[in-house]
Every structure is written in C-alpha cells, then in structure tokens.
Amino acid sequence: MKTFFADEQRKHDPKMFLSSGAAQPNPEKPERIERLLAGAKAAGSEIVRPRDHGLKPIAAIHTPEYIEFLQNIFLRWQRIEGASEEVVPNIHPLARGGRYPASAVGQAGYHMADTACPISADTWGSACWSAWSAVEAAEAVLSGARSAYALCRPPGHHAFADVAGGFCFLNNSAIAAQHLLGSSKRVAILDVDLHHGNGTQGIFYGRSDVLTVSLHADPVRFYPFFWGHADERGEGAGLGYNLNLPLARKTADEGFLEALEVANRRIEAFAPDALVIALGLDAFEGDPFGGLSVSTPGFARIAEAIALLGLPTVIVQEGGYLCDELGANLISFLTGFK
C-alpha cells in the first residue's frame, strides 16, 4: 500500500490551544508526521508525493467564501493593530442565520468553531497539501489499487463545509469521498477516530450517496459535545444515511470491535463501491486525550475486520497524538489491513 504525503504539510505549526479554559501547547504538532512516516515505512509502505490538484477537489466540498477566508485571513489579521500572531476567534454568532460579517474578527468567529485551529502564514498551504494527499490516495484507488494511505496532517474530520474546528481546516476524508464519487455511485466513510467526525457528518447529512458512520467516545461529556449522538440519523434525502455509535469512556478492544461489527453490517447493507476510513489513532489507551482504551494490537484487529468488507479503500489519517506508541499503532493498523 502506498503512502501519500508532501513535505509542505510540516509547515503548519499551531501554538494556541485552550483546554478547559487554560492555555496549553497545541497537541497537533508537526512531530506527529515523523512518527507516522516512520510507522508507514516500517509497515513496508512506499512514500509518494502527491501532485498539486488545485482548488477543484477542495471547492467540491468547501464554500467559496470559506476558501477565500482561509487563503487571506492571516494577512488581514496582521493589519489589525495589537492582534495576536495567529488567527484565533474571540466571538461567535449564536446562530449562523445573522449577517455575514465584513471584518476579519467577525469572519474568524463565523468560520472557526473553537480555539484549537489557529491560522498562521503556513496553514493554508499545509491544509491544501494535506487535502491533495487525500485526493492522490483516492486517485490511486480509482486506478485499481486495493487500498492507499493518505498521511493527512493537518487532519480534517471536524471541518464543515465552511467552518474549521478541532485542529481541522479542510475535510480530507470528505474530499477523498467526493473524489471517489467521480466514478462510483456510492461511497461510505467509516470514522474510527476517538472523536466524532462532526464535520464529515455535517457535510453529507442531507445526502444518500455518501453513508457516514462514526465510532467515538460518547459526546455527552466529550468533544465535540454538540454532535455525535445516536439519534442523529441524517435529514431529507440523507435520512438513514448517518450512523453514530457513541462508546462509553475507556471502552477497550472488545467493546470497540462489537460496535465495529454493527458499523460493518450497515456498510454492507449500503453496498458502496468504495470506502474511506477516517483513521484516528487517538482511540489508543495511551493517547494524551485518554478517551478510549484501544490497545496497539487492537488496531490490527480493527483493520482486519474492516478489510473483510473487501472494498477499495482510502485510509485518511485523522487524529492520534504524541505518545511513544503512535508509530507502532499505525504499523499495527496498516499491517492488519493487508
């Protein structure tokens, strides 16, 4: 299986992060890439640089005003006297039905869900290359590869069509799924990250051509709090095409695999032409977020169970934070998927 990754993805290096109101170092560090690259290589994967795919695959998911915002907001922010080094929102609309603001501060609040996704000079470039890694992996699968791995960083699954959030700017998994639809009728996205894939759910909530399934720590007391509950099933034409499987805190391998069985049966019934796995490794028992308790060998078992679906599969990296086993967890998953 090939790994797609571009060096430009290293440049985004966010500093700001608020955890329960306290300023902390941002956990979405470039160092994650080194651990994941080492893991991919150790799993026998060849590292391939993606091509520049331009704005088209990004604009197939994200709105024009949001793309313009991401492209320009850093320079606009620098013109504000006394502004922070990174773009961080300090005001949000209560509902988004109000007027679209003209000011940089207003737009930051409109397009950024939280303080976990600060924007610097390098953010847009890194986010584009991360998305293009996902597009290139989708291209590989469209060209006949059974599977491909996109080492996407920054990650994507908390990004909505016009909102950044939770370390995410462009929704790489959604972009890969939409790209696969170029020659498929139906695509399923299976999100196994510790956190609910709220952005991915939001993007496809009214559609029946992309099934979205997410296993995650129960959001009743966990990020992203407002989404990820079992009664969110889609709307309109998309009703029944979103499945959330919230798990109790500290759920370990057996509990995770049981829920995965439910997910896999739903995906089989949907009968997609291709699959996107939103691969968060933060469900790991030693991950700094500490929400679930999947073991290192558990990731291989998860991968084996998903591989049994027998679908052409794009694996898109989502979360998974710095801990000694980050690379080993990726090796376990990629080896299990073979």
- Interface residue list for Zn ion (CB under 5 A): 193-195, 280, 282, 319
Considering the complex, what minimum distance in angstroms separates the CB of residue 283 from Zn ion?
8
The answer to whether residue 62 is catalytic is no
The string of DSSP codes covering 242-260 is: EEEEEE-TT-BHHHHHHHH
Antiparallel, parallel or unpaired: β 18-19 and 242-247: unpaired
Sequence-distant (≥ 6) Cβ neighbours of residue 255 within 8 angstroms = 247, 248
CB of 262 to Zn ion, least distance (A): 20
Distance of CA 308 to the CA centre of its chain: 23
Place of tokens 């003209």: 102
3-state secondary structure (DSSP) of residue 159: coil
Active-site entry in 158, 179, 195, 196: 158
Count of beta carbons in the 10 Å neighbourhood of residue 48: 16
Report the C-alpha gap between 24 and 64 in whole angstroms: 32
Alpha-carbon span 67 to 95, nearest angstrom: 21
Query: Of 238, 167, 246, nearest to 203 (Cα)?
Result: 238
Tokens of 280: 């968060």
Q: In terms of DSSP bridges, do strands 147-150 and 187-191 run parallel, antiparallel, or are they unpaired?
A: unpaired
Closest separation in Å from C-beta 27 to Zn ion: 10
CA angle 223, 117, 52 (to 5 degrees): 120
Min dist. Cβ of residue 286 to Zn ion (A): 14
CB of 9 to Zn ion, least distance (A): 17
CA distance 302 to 306: 6
**Which residues are CB-neighbours of 12 under 8 A, at least 6 positions away?**
30, 120, 122, 123, 125, 126, 127, 154
Beta bridge partners of 148: 2, 314
216 vs 299: CA distance, rounded Å: 14
Question: Cβ of residue 315: shortest distance to Zn ion, in angstroms?
Answer: 15
Identify which of residues 155 and 312 has a Cβ nearer to Zn ion in the complex.
155
So which residues are the catalytic ones?
Answer: 158
